[in-house]
Copies of this chain bind each other. A is one copy, B any other.
Amino acid sequence: MFEVFAKYLQNQIQLNDQELNMIQKVCVSKRLRKNQYLLQEGDVWRYNAFITSGCLRTYSVNDKLQEHILNFAIENYWIGDRESLLNGTPSRYNIDAIEDSEVLLISKEDFAVLMKSIPQFQDLVNLIIERSFAASQDRINSSISLNAEEKYATFLKRQPKIANRVPQHMVASYLGITPETLSRIRKLNLKK
């Protein structure tokens, strides 16, 4: 499904056939069944991954074996552990598929070559990282300044697609609250 990626790219930057071809050559497609891992804690993440279909999550597991979801990502989004990629250190996160999915993997090395060779591509990548950073600042702000109900409302507003696509207990995990609390919040919201 390179077409999905090609469309995504051409939507945002100008690429000639040769450039597009260069990108295609280094993409490795990978299918994931629901529940299958893309990355496991302790492994080093060496790729940039673009999702062409499906839905994945990044999560951590603490001492008490509780899972905490850091990110959801669906088709037309990137996923991975940039910290592990940047430093070559073992990842502290897991990534797995919430639905049957397909991702395109580009190795760190190939990706670096693309960035050097295609300036628009480099600009796009920088822009995406900037946006991701802004989004995480925003999420930190929510997490320290809102109560559970407000966090859920904010999530619904910011990521309505995700909210309607992933199981409720995963939304709770993403928000840092229990599934029971989320269930009660939803019940109260219905009455309003």
> A residues near B, CB below 8 A?
60, 62, 66, 68, 70, 82-83, 86, 92, 126-127, 129-134, 136-141, 143-146, 173-176
Verify A130–B129 contact, CB threshold 8 A.
yes
- With A144-B143, A176-B143 in contact, do A134 and B82 touch (Cβ < 8 Å)? yes
Identical subunits present: 2
Instruction: Please give me the 5 A-B residue pairs with the lowest Cβ-Cβ distance, nearest first.
Output: A144-B176, A83-B134, A136-B136, A68-B145, A143-B143
Verify B140–A129 contact, CB threshold 8 A.
no
Cross-chain pairs A/B with CB under 8 angstroms, 11 sampled: A62-B145, A68-B141, A83-B134, A86-B130, A92-B141, A129-B129, A132-B133, A139-B140, A140-B143, A144-B174, A144-B175
Query: Which of A131, A136, A139, A140 counts the most B-chain CB atoms under 10 A from its CB?
Result: A140
Compute how far the CA of A141 lies from the CA of B58 in the bound complex, rounded to whole angstroms. Answer: 11
Chain B residues, CB < 8 A from A133: 82, 129, 132-133, 136
Q: For residue A125, which residue of chain B has the nearest CB? A: B126
Chain B residues, CB < 8 A from A82: 130, 133-134, 137
Chain B residues, CB < 8 A from A131: 86
Q: For residue A85, which residue of chain B has the nearest CB? A: B130
Q: For residue A66, which residue of chain B has the nearest CB? A: B145
Chain B residues, CB < 8 A from A127: 86
Verify B136–A140 contact, CB threshold 8 A.
yes
Verify B141–A70 contact, CB threshold 8 A.
yes
Q: For residue A119, which residue of chain B has the nearest CB? A: B116
A140 to chain B, nearest CB (A): 6
Compute how far the CA of A146 lies from the CA of B175 in the bound complex, rounded to whole angstroms. Answer: 13
